[in-house]
């Protein structure tokens, strides 16, 4: 790290002797960590929950508020009357778009 002389001053504009201060504390070593992401992503659904008269050929879209990736398992689709459709998460009918988080 390089800190030029005069980079720090006190409130009376006196330059602090950076080199002297750094010499007293060097070597300066530390490690960093990546904070754990413990917040579950939230999804916006299209069509919205409870929507009526939807086109049966339209895509079902889940837009997340953060980037997501495929895990494991299957998506099950049903209209409550007709037989369900189960699609493995790795199926080509399931797609992920990093830029749109879908």
State how far the Cα of 19 lies from the Cα of 15, in Å rounded to an integer.
11
Q: Report which secondary-structure segment, H or E, holds 24.
A: helix 18-25
100 pLDDT exceeds 60?
no
Model confidence, pTM = 0.54
pLDDT category at 28 given cuts 50, 70, 90 is low
Percent of the chain with pLDDT over 70: 77
Q: Which two tokens stand for residue 6?
A: 């005069």
31 pLDDT exceeds 70?
yes
Is the model more confident about 78 or about 27?
78
25 pLDDT exceeds 80?
no
């Amino acid at each position: 790290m390089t800190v030029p002389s005069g980079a720090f001053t006190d409130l009376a504009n006196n330059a602090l002797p950076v080199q002297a201060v750094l010499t007293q504390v060097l070597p300066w070593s530390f490690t960093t960590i990546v904070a754990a992401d413990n917040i579950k992503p939230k999804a916006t659904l299209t069509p919205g929950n409870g929507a009526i008269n939807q086109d049966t050929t339209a895509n079902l879209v889940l837009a997340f508020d953060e980037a997501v990736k495929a895990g494991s398992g299957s998506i099950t689709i049903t209209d409550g009357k007709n037989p369900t459709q189960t699609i493995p998460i790795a199926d080509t009918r399931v797609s992920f778009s990093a830029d749109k988080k879908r």
